[in-house]
Amino acid sequence: MNKLINLIIIILLGIVFVIPLIWVIVTSLSPNNEVIGNTFPLWTFHPTFKNYIAAWNAAPFLTYYMNTFIIVFGILIVQLITITLGAYAFARLEFTGKNLLFILFLLQLMIQPEILLFPNYQVMSQLGLVDTKLAVMLPYWASAFGVFLLRQTFKQVPYELDEASKMDGSKWWQTIWHVYIPAAKPTYIAFGLVSISTHWSNFMWPLIITNSVENRPLTVGLALFAQSFETGAQWGIVTAGTVMVILPLLIAFFIFQKQFVSSFMHSGIK
């Protein structure tokens, strides 16, 4: 009985969450006269790709895509290096004040990113990095969440493997590469998925730090694109642009959904 109730609740929640997505997709494929009319597009659905063509031609989405890929994967690559070194230090090295430093490090998780917008902008301005992709990426190159997640995994690696690697003459970085990283693959996948989805949808910081099309990601480009059509109420074109922004994440999720769930289960996130 409990399983049946849980299944019904899950199905209802799934329907609630999928309705907005269906509405966006149907609206993006509907002619503008049906979207702004009195009828709901689903009942008079005449699919067309004209909205997508118009949206693609109305804004430099190809440039926005390139900028987003550079920013998202530029952040992820550096994060993987910094969280690996930080997690190894907190999991295996012994130094004075390690536990206190780790607690202070985790306090970053309690700080809302919006609080750091102004000081981060000041730093980027002093470095001459305003309106650059580097400025968008730099504040996220370290991740307290990633260090915490990876530290917990590294602590589960048996000391015997560590000692055996050192006895074979491996340097500390060789030990990390051959012992710790292979043991933490599910954790790396979990963190990578979180990092990509988070920074793909990041809006506030890129909006503040970028001014030109050459450096804007998709989220900022979509917001400016939507504002340009607000007087004409071109909802079909705006929703088409929205679908183009979220489409890569949707495709990636449907392809890797099993790995997505499995990686979080193995990394200890419930």
- The architecture (CATH level 2) of 56-266 comes to Orthogonal Bundle (1.10)
State the average pLDDT for the chain. 84
Chain centroid to CA 93: how far?
A: 30
82 backbone dihedrals φ, ψ, rounded to 5°:
-70, -40
Ranges of the chain with pLDDT below 50? 38, 231, 268-270
Residue partners of 135: CB distance under 8 A and separation at least 6:
124, 127, 129, 209, 210
Q: What are the tens digits of pLDDT across the range 59-111?
A: 899 999 999 999 999 999 999 999 999 999 999 888 888 888 888 888 888 88
- Locate the domains of the chain by residue range: 1-48, 56-266
